[in-house]
Chains A and B, each alone.
Chain A
Amino acid sequence: MSAMAVEPPSATDAESLSRLIAAVARQDRDAFAALFGYFAPRVKTFLIRSGVNESGADELAQETLLVVWRKAAQFDPVTTGATAWIFTIARNLRIDALRRERRAGTLDASFDLEAFADERPPPDNAIDAAQSQERLSAALAQLNEDQARVIELSFFEDKAHGEIARLLQIPLGTVKSRVRLAMSRLRSLLDEAR
């Protein structure tokens, strides 16, 4: 069986993704293959754009989904969105990989994801992940195209700022202030929605 043969989930809304993770927590391999088919190729793109080479990105995307398998029982759809959860796993593996400057082919089972387990107090006012996702989507929709773009691109390393500058055809020096502006607008939109 190859990765290409696996059908991605027919619906990729948050709810069906959360259901797949719940099934993975019950050791459902088909659900795992479906999650893999949807997420691994996107995580791979994320890693490549973060400066990881192609084969390293492939390995790390595999590793990300392996962590999903191991930690699926800890996933709480009420407090976290499925994609946000997987994004943080991929991000943490990327931190780990980039700072150890692992070379492709040297990956083993020694990832120490516990080193990323930050603790967070419950939010100010009790809203669940679905509500906050809704608010966030609404707030993002109110940003203009450039603002939404710089926010998305800011999830990559600083060196990607040159890329942002090229894409948006603005001087490099204004990228940081553009990111800052977009962020504070997003934040005030979210605060208003409370």
Chain B
Amino acid sequence: MTIRHHPSDDMLQAYAAGTLDEGQRIAVATHMRTCARCSGWVSALEQVGACMLERLPPTAMSMDALDRVLGRLSALPPPPAGAIFDDVPGLPAFVRRYRFGQWTWVGPGVHLRPIELPVDSPTRVFLLKAVPGTRMLQHSHTDLELTCVLSGAFRHQGGYFGPGDFDLGDEDVEHQPLVEPGEDCICLVAMQGKLRLSGLLGRLMQPFVRL
């Protein structure tokens, strides 16, 4: 698999630093799952973080800190909760433990499946599935939209996007993605914006038009 489109260096740095919001973190982690280049760079950045950690001056721990931890060593960690979602391949394991909504029709040939995040995030995450030949109009959003292709492919002015490819849209981008022939295109989408949950479905239905 040749991956041609990657997250920006800023985004990978924020991933390594742990300062991405949850929705964006999921999109980058999904990409890194197949991209040796980006995961190698993030590992390098984590080593930089390690150098930073080693150079920090120590702050004295509370007097009983070690004793308290020693007292807890034999306690068992809590078992991971929740069912594993494995309907769609290509998602990182931690994402598959999140709650997935149902596939919902949002327009001709296009279905959406929301992923429920365990924490508040300004970014909403969902799977988007479109049949070959679907032309999607770029909907407007006030902020970033990150897309990682899981299967199938689409193409727009920015190039060809196949499995593992990472696409970034913002208010300046006016792409019209066209789903490539062959199989359904399934993407993980992390979208920031001011859409409200109550009006979500209606607002989402507008942008998808089949030609």
Contacts and interface: CB of A to CB of B under 8 A. Distances in A.
A183 interface: yes
Contacts of B13: 154, 179, 183
Contact of A155 (B17, B62, B64): B17
B65 A91 contact: no
B120 A44 contact: no
B194 interface: no
Interface in A77-106: 80-81, 83-84, 86-88, 90-92, 94-95, 99-100
Contacts of B197: none
A21 interface: no
Interface residues of B, number: 59
Nearest to B56: A45
B49 A123 contact: no
Kindly name the residue among A6, A40, A117, A155 whose own CB sees the greatest number of chain B CB atoms within 10 A.
A155
Interface of A: 1-4, 6, 12, 29, 32-33, 36-37, 40-46, 48-49, 55, 57-58, 61-62, 65-66, 69-70, 80-81, 83-84, 86-88, 90-92, 94-95, 99-100, 109-110, 112, 114-124, 132-133, 136-137, 140, 151-152, 154-158, 179-180, 183-184, 186-187, 190
Given A36-B66, A190-B44, 10 more contacts: A3-B62, A3-B67, A83-B51, A100-B119, A116-B94, A119-B33, A120-B43, A123-B43, A155-B48, A186-B48
Interface of B: 9-10, 13, 16-19, 22, 29, 32-37, 39-44, 46-70, 72-73, 75, 77-78, 80, 92-94, 97, 118-120
